[in-house]
Structures are given as structure tokens and as C-alpha cells.
Amino acid sequence: MTNSWTDIKNTDLVIVMGGNAAEAHPCGFKWVTEAKHHRGAKLIVVDPRFTRTASVSDYYAPIRPGTDIAFLMGLIRYMIENDRVQWEYVKAFTNASFLVKEEFGWSDGLFTGYDEEKRDYDKSSWDYQIGPDGYMLTDPTLQHPRCVWNLLKAHVDVYTPEMVERITGTPQDRFLKIAEMIGECSSPTKTMTSMYALGWTQHSKGAQNIRGMAMLQLILGNIGVPGGGMNALRGHSNIQGLTDLGLMSNLIPGYLNIPTEKEPDWATYMKSRAFKPLLPGQTSYWQNYPKFMVSFMKSMWGEAAQKDNDWAYHYLPKLDVPAYDMLRMFELMDQGRVNLYFCQGFNPLLALANRNKNTSALSKLKMLVVMDPLETETARFWENHGAYNDVDTASIQTEVIQLPTSCFAEDEGALVNSGRWLQWHWKASDMPGQAKYDTWIMAQIFLRVRELYRKEGGAFPDPILNLTWDYADEHEPSPDELAREMNGRALADVYDLADKTKLLTAAGRQVKSFAELRDDGTTASGCWIYSGSYNEDGNNMARRDNSDPSGMGVYSNWTWSWPLNRRTLYNRASADLQGQPWDPSRPIIAWNGERWEGNDIPDISPTAKPGEVMPFIMNQEGVSRLFSRGMMRDGPFPTHMEPFESPVQNVFNDRMRGNPVARVFASDVEKMGTSDEFPFVATSYRLTEHFHYWTKHNKVNATLQPEFFVEISEQLAAEKGIERGGRVRVWSKRGEVWAKALVTKRIKPMICDGKTVHVVGIPLHWGFVGAAKKGWGPNSLTPFVGDANIETPEFKAFLVNIEPAVGEAVS
């Protein structure tokens, strides 16, 4: 989230698209009802199904799964055509005026530079024109034909309301009504918030869906302002913490990068991270990258990381591929190239695309270790459960070790919510049976591995032997110690960079914030963005003061928010070029003539003059990007792409299947279905009664939603002879499931490109262990392909067939 849950109460319009907040985030959704009740806010829902969120909406429109980009580009076109643009914001705070290279263009659904062989773009033309002084060429009047604004205008021109309806199936009148409601938020005193979740990410072009809305929000002037923003609703209570801490194969804590093979040494690695400002006088905050990186290396390896050994850069692994994402790991596993797999708090048998492939892959491991507080299907993948898990147990040689861990109520620590709040919690109960803390388990493994290296040596023992491990009890690092480590501390006295006589923090003390981190080895910090969470003031995450003097839902003294306890990112953009709030009735920060002040921590240097330094300091440009240069693999603007499995062809290019640059493994291509065999569009989702595959263990949750079902329209039911509550078989090119049929008016057939499209809704939550009835997850059916940029599997749009079934599945 750019903003916070509590800030949603400040909005005038909520759009839930690419998510189902009431259903999947019911507690956070209270802030929507708050905005509706006390601000008169309106709620729009765009979704293939009339969801529980739609049930309390002011306006709803259906959309065919996987066509959000067309809808969003249609909205941008409407805003431009009808002058629903917050001009002052767009001109000053976005790259609308920047000139783009002459060679850049778009035709037949593709941008310039496409190489069909490589399934990749040569992105060299997707960039700005740079002047002789090394800065951007711009045209502040927005007249130049090569300026971003005019290119955007041309790019979205094709997305007329007619075209939107043709692609998305959303009736034009519904689309136009929504466009009109959204258009009102181009006023500086009216704000829209976007709430989205996996309905946007789980597509082969998920990142572009989100960009589409972010661009719309910039055009409306809604980023950085109270009640606005791009608000990703995170699906687990600590999934934000997971990404913050870099639990991805290509990340280091705090969104730093694991080096690649092309960056064999420190100098090369740092060269591409210089982040020189692209406009004069702008702040490019990532210029501090070396401070965060060196502090991380010091945190990891202490004395072994020194300037003369490039901070032990050679200890870091170097990626030979962009990332070892889940899809790649299971592909490698399926090829028999993975021996041991640690599965910590994850149930991939049901959570990863194409279950049959998952089973096959897990069966090829030598050993699988599952760390989880609950019994998972993954830990039991080898066990035959009849139709629910029809495996030949005797043929599976994988050794499975289950290590029971604590659950959230049995341990202490911080959970990071969607709004980036690190909320400390305390243990409420002891762990049952033989369960152990994850940290204890990891410590035991580490200590034993280190011992082996000590005794036996090995190919490269140094990173293991020299790892900092100075916890009071080496067998059990405490949450308190780990939190302090992430915050970071001074290894030597830290002085003010502007005044070298001014001592900021003495050696051995916790740094106040990342502003005190240094690139000379005098500071250590495990995760720079968490710096400030646990300083000499104490554990700020444990704060529980819920006062809100401004009444704006800021709650500055409730726990702690990264970065720097800032509650709204880019909040400098909430004020105009003179530094005064766009909406005087909703001020968060303002320029008082000398400094930025207000209810929130300013997202800019407190003394940066409003007309000079632009708000988007994490970008080299200092402004936000309507045109994202070569930063995304599939285009600098979002362009409509069909899902890999689609009932219709791409209207721009009938040769194009899915995202033209998404990675598809050879073995998965043949497992892609077509609409002649699989005529119906399926989409997956959560239900309020359950949380993923956890709560089916709980009898109360199981009572409230006991049995796997699929949802279909009355029309499809009639066409197929399916009765309400009857049993159906649903199958795709990859597998099949049996379910109860929930026949509903909430799903209606749509007409897309002249063709009737039926949607089959497939909730998750059922498996073969737990208190609920045995069932299946959608992943028995879903394709093994992910987003082109971040590899999130395409769970939200794929093809299936359906027929009535008789009898009960045998187990």
C-alpha cells in the first residue's frame, strides 16, 4: 500500500478491481464502510463475479477475467478525452513532458524491438531523449509529438468504449458510468483509492494491470494524497514482511538485489546502481544504495566484510537466471535437478500452478522438509487419498520430514501489514507437542552445517564460517535480538555528514534511522527500510498509542511503519507546487516557508523547497512515470494481452498468445488448452469463511463453508443440464476436479468479440487433510505460467470444461 488501511476512511471513491476486499480482507474493509458512512464515499466494484464486495457497492460492472488492461486504458482514454485530468499534478509530478526516443512505437499489439525467437524485447528504444547536459529533454507545454503525454494519448486511442466492451465484455453503459464517477476524482479536492490484490497479480501480465491503475491514479492526481493511492491488499498477515525481508531468490532485505553473474565484482554491481538524477536539482534517493548495501554486508559478516575485500561481495551468490522463482524451482525439480527442498510455511502442492506437475516434481526429490504449524497436503503428497490424491505411494521414494513450528499466537515478533506497519505481537499460548520456533529450527541447522564446514572444510566455507551469529543463546536467536539487528547499530561513532563534529550515534548504539547508515563500514543494518523500528527509543513496533490528533487516521504512535514511520508514501505529492495541500480540508503535510510539517513524516527532505524538488524521490527523474522506460519486460505502457488460455483471440494480433514475453517452459506448452476443447473461462478466488488452506483444520470454519464447490451462471447450468447443489466435473488440459454446483445469478454470461463467454468460479480452501470435507484446489486445473516480470502464476484466467457428474468421489 502507498497509504494505510486507516487512511481509506479519507477517500471519496473506492474502486475494488482485481480484488475482493470484503471477502478476502473483511477486517480492513471496515475502513471502506467507514468512508461510506462518514464521508459519503462511493464504492465501485469491477469483477467477473458479483462478489460480497459488490453486495455493498454503489455500482458494479462485470468484466471478463484477464482483460483489465483494456478496461484501464479505456478509462485513461476517457479521462484525456473528457479533460478529467489533474493538470497541475500531471505536468509537475509525472514524466508527461519528457521526450521519448523517435524509434519507440507500438503496432499489432507489440512494442518496438520484439524478437519472437527470444520471446523478448530489445528495450533500447523505450527510453527518454537525453540532452547534451546528460539530463532529459522535456516539453512542459506538452505539445511535442514525442512527449510522453502525446504518446500515451496515442497509445490509449484504440481503447474506445466500443473496444473496451468488445474485449472485456463490460457493457458500454456500465463502463461509461464508472468512467464518469472516476472522472470526478480529477478534482484536487476529490480522491479515489484503488484496492487490489491477487485478482490483478495472478495474471501473465499482472504487473501491467497494476501499472494501468497507477497511471490512472497519477492522471487524477491521486498518488500521495490522503484517501488515494495504490493499495495492494496483502493476502497473508505477514506477506508484506516476507517481501520486505527479501525472501525471494533475487532480493536482499530492503529491496536490494542479489547480484547476477554479469556483476562479478562490487564496482560492476554498484555501477548500475548509481542512480544519478535525470533532472537538475532532483533528489534520487537510491543514490544511498551503497550505504544500505554496505550496512547489510556488515550485518551479515561483521569483521569479515571490509572495504579492501569489497565488503565480502564474493560471499554473495550470483544469479545465473533472473530469479529462482517457484515455477522455475518446480520445473527444475520435475527435471530431477533438485535434491532437497525446504518448505517453510508454504503448501505448494495446493498453492502452485498445475498440481499434477507439483506431485511429479515432489516425487523426484530425495528429501522434502516441511516446516509448518499445521498438517499440510504437501507433507502428505505421497499418501493416497483416492480421487483426492491419487498417487502410487510405493513408487515415491522422497523422504519427507515434518518439523512442526509455532503459529502466530504461539510466538513473539512483528507482523507487517499491507500498510507497512510493523506490529509487534506477544505470545498468547505455548506451542503444542514437539513444535519448535522456526528460528530455533533454522539455528540448529545452521550450527550443524557450520560445524560440518569447520570439521571437513568444503568448497567455500567462508560465508558460513564468518556469518555473524552473536546471539545470547546461539541455539535460539530471540525476536528482540533479530529486530534490533534489522534496525542496525553504529559499529563506530557516527557523525553528521554535514557537520563532522556532531556525534549522531555513539559506537555500539542502535542507529536512529537509515539516515545514519554509512557506506564506510561504520554501521550495520540487516534491513535498511526497517531502520528506526527498534532504536534507542526502544521497540517502536510495540507502541500501542491509538491517539489520532489530526483525525486523519494517521495513528503515528501506533506501532511503526516503514520507512521512517511514514504512513503515506509520496505524501509530498499531496501538496501543490507552493507546498500547500491540494485539499485544505485533508492536509497531511504542508510547506511552512522553511520546512515541511504536518501529520505525517514528509516523504522528502524536510527542507527541500516545494517548487524545486519533486515528490517522487525514489525515481531518478524525481517525478512519477506514466512511461516506465525499459523497467518492465512487457512494455513501457500497459497493452492488452489475452491470458495464455483465452476464449477469444487478441484483437490486435491474432498470432499473439498470452503475454509475448512471459516465460513458458517447453514441457508446459503442450499442457495449454484451447477454447474449442475448453470453452469456459475459469477464475480462482478465496471465500471469507476460510483462510487459504489453514482454516479447513478448524471445525468452526469448516462448518461455515464445509465443501468444495464451483460457481456457474443459471445460463451455463441450463445449457449443461447442471442442477443447483448437483455434482459436476470440471477439467482442464492439466487435470480434473469434482465439486458441488452453486448456480447463481451473480455470474452472468458476457459477450466478448461477438462470442458468449461463460465464467466458472473456482474457490480454493479444500484439500485432503483437515476438518472440512475433502476436495480440491483450483491448482488441479491452472496453467504453469507466470507474470512476465515477477512470475506470479496465472490463476485468475484459464480455460476449463464442465459437465454434470454422478455419485460421490471415493476416498
**Residue 515 or 742: which CB sits closer to other proteins?**
742
CA angle 567, 573, 574 (to 5 degrees): 70
Chosen residue from 80, 771, 790, 805 binding other proteins by CB under 8 A: 771
List CB contacts of 266: < 8 A, sequence separation 6 or more. Answer: 310, 311, 313
**Residue 157 or 707: which CB sits closer to other proteins?**
707
Nearest alpha-carbon partner for 133 in 281, 283, 288: 281
446 scored as a contact of other proteins (CB under 8 A):
no
Give, rounded to a whole angstrom, the gap between the first and last alpha carbons of the chain. Answer: 43
**Residue 207 or 722: which CB sits closer to other proteins?**
722
Q: Binding string, 694-713, against other proteins, x = CB under 8 A? A: -----xxxxxxxxxxx----
If DSSP codes are grouped into helix, strand and coil, which group holds residue 282?
Answer: coil
90 φ/ψ angles, rounded to the nearest 5 degrees: -60, -45
Distance CA 161, CA 307 (A): 59
Chosen residue from 309, 468, 649, 744 binding other proteins by CB under 8 A: 744
- Residue count, binding to other proteins (CB under 8 A): 48
773 scored as a contact of other proteins (CB under 8 A):
yes
189 scored as a contact of other proteins (CB under 8 A):
no
**Residue 352 or 702: which CB sits closer to other proteins?**
702
If DSSP codes are grouped into helix, strand and coil, which group holds residue 333?
Answer: helix
749 scored as a contact of other proteins (CB under 8 A):
no
**Residue 22 or 163: which CB sits closer to other proteins?**
22
How far apart are CB 565 and other proteins at their closest, in Å?
A: 24
The strand pairing partners of 193, in sequence order, are 14
Nearest alpha-carbon partner for 353 in 380, 374, 375, 334: 334
**Residue 26 or 264: which CB sits closer to other proteins?**
26
List CB contacts of 309: < 8 A, sequence separation 6 or more. Answer: none
Distance CA 118, CA 747 (A): 39
Distance CA 248, CA 298 (A): 21
171 scored as a contact of other proteins (CB under 8 A):
no
547 scored as a contact of other proteins (CB under 8 A):
no
**Residue 366 or 724: which CB sits closer to other proteins?**
724
Contact present, 99 and 279 (Cβ < 8 Å): no
**Residue 28 or 658: which CB sits closer to other proteins?**
28
How far apart are CB 218 and other proteins at their closest, in Å?
A: 29
How far apart are CB 429 and other proteins at their closest, in Å?
A: 16
53 scored as a contact of other proteins (CB under 8 A):
yes
Contact present, 161 and 110 (Cβ < 8 Å): no
Q: Binding string, 59-88, against other proteins, x = CB under 8 A? A: -x----------------------------
H or E element in which residue 727 lies: strand 727-731
Chosen residue from 165, 331, 689, 787 binding other proteins by CB under 8 A: 689
Distance CA 328, CA 257 (A): 19
750 scored as a contact of other proteins (CB under 8 A):
no
CA angle 57, 581, 212 (to 5 degrees): 45
H or E element in which residue 107 lies: strand 106-107
Chosen residue from 166, 298, 746, 774 binding other proteins by CB under 8 A: 746
54 scored as a contact of other proteins (CB under 8 A):
yes
50 scored as a contact of other proteins (CB under 8 A):
yes
423 scored as a contact of other proteins (CB under 8 A):
no
154 φ/ψ angles, rounded to the nearest 5 degrees: -65, -40
**Residue 23 or 668: which CB sits closer to other proteins?**
23
The strand pairing partners of 684, in sequence order, are 762
The strand pairing partners of 121, in sequence order, are 114
276 scored as a contact of other proteins (CB under 8 A):
no
How far apart are CB 586 and other proteins at their closest, in Å?
A: 20
The number of beta carbons lying within 10 Å of the beta carbon of residue 548 is 15
**Residue 56 or 407: which CB sits closer to other proteins?**
56
Distance CA 666, CA 645 (A): 16
802 scored as a contact of other proteins (CB under 8 A):
no
Q: Binding string, 2-31, against other proteins, x = CB under 8 A? A: --------------------xx--xx-xx-
H or E element in which residue 728 lies: strand 727-731
The number of beta carbons lying within 10 Å of the beta carbon of residue 407 is 16
Could you give the C-alpha distances from 358 to 329, 335, 390, 758, 788, in angstroms and in order? Answer: 10, 12, 13, 28, 21
Grid-cell match 466435473, residue found: 729
User: Would strands 709-713 and 736-744 be described as parallel, antiparallel, or unpaired?
Assistant: parallel
Site for other proteins, residues 28 to 47, rule: CB under 8 A: 29-30, 32-34, 36-37, 40, 42
How far apart are CB 596 and other proteins at their closest, in Å?
A: 33
How far apart are CB 727 and other proteins at their closest, in Å?
A: 10
**Residue 275 or 691: which CB sits closer to other proteins?**
691
Whether a cis peptide bond, with omega within 30° of 0, leads into 563 is yes
Distance CA 450, CA 446 (A): 6
**Residue 28 or 221: which CB sits closer to other proteins?**
28
105 scored as a contact of other proteins (CB under 8 A):
no
Chosen residue from 148, 216, 435, 772 binding other proteins by CB under 8 A: 772
52 scored as a contact of other proteins (CB under 8 A):
yes
332 scored as a contact of other proteins (CB under 8 A):
no
How far apart are CB 744 and other proteins at their closest, in Å?
A: 6
Q: Which residues would be at the binding site for other proteins (CB under 8 A)?
A: 22-23, 26-27, 29-30, 32-34, 36-37, 40, 42, 50, 52-56, 58, 60, 688-689, 699-709, 723-726, 740-746, 771-773
